[in-house]
Structure 1
Amino acid sequence: MTSWPDPERDNVPEHSHVLDEDLRLAALVAQRISIDWTTRRQQISVTVQNAVVILTGMVSDPATRKAAAELAWDVPGVFDVCNALTLHGRGHNHG
């Protein structure tokens, strides 16, 4: 007799493969950003949620901001990129 839900089969969360894939994508994007000449010395953090890459931190200019997003988009498996990178001196409102 089979019970439902099956405690042995359902013991592993269904979303664990999504988390593993997000970690894999984050590592690939971070690696590309860290070795690219344009982005490697910038303050960029990479987070991935459900194959959506979220870039945060500060960069020196708009071209570098764009390059980071393009590097993320080039990773196979990325569904979308949220580019929340700010430019040095423009990320905070002091008024």
Structure 2
Amino acid sequence: MAIYYIEFPDAVSSPDDIRLAVRVAEQLENQLPNRGRRIVVEVQNRIVILRGEAPSAQFFHLAGQIVWKTPGVADLSNQLIVQPPP
């Protein structure tokens, strides 16, 4: 089971950013392979920030593609860290 955390900056987040963060997290949950990874989704002024671990470069790129296909996204900062294979 994948875990998606939605974080908001210290400043008050707009209702639009909150809704967008929820939509992005739902899309990631529905479309990413179930790898049991913790991914943090943060949205600031329609800019999505992803943090956490990616098990592969393919996972990293797929997460970015999913975010970009989500309506309302203005930009993406994909800060997922690709973990080397064991």
- Give the TM-score range, shorter chain: 0.7 to 0.9
Higher relative contact order (CA 8 A, sep 6+): 2
CA distance in 1, matches of 2:35, 2:20: 18
Matches within 5 A, 1:1-95: 19-38=14-33, 41-89=36-84
Large movers: runs of 4+ above 6 Å: none
Percent identity between matched residues is 33
CA RMSD after TM alignment: 2.1
From the two aligned structures, give the one with the greater strand fraction: 2
SS at 1:55 equivalent: strand
CA distance in 2, matches of 1:41, 1:20: 29
Structure 1, unaligned runs of 5 or more: 1-15, 90-95
The structural deviation recorded for 1:87 is 1.4
CA distance in 2, matches of 1:68, 1:39: 12
Structure 2, unaligned runs of 5 or more: 1-11
Q: TM-score, normalised by structure 1?
A: 0.69
Larger of the two Rg values belongs to structure: 1
Contact 1:52 1:80 in 2 (8 A): yes
Q: TM-score, normalised by structure 2?
A: 0.76
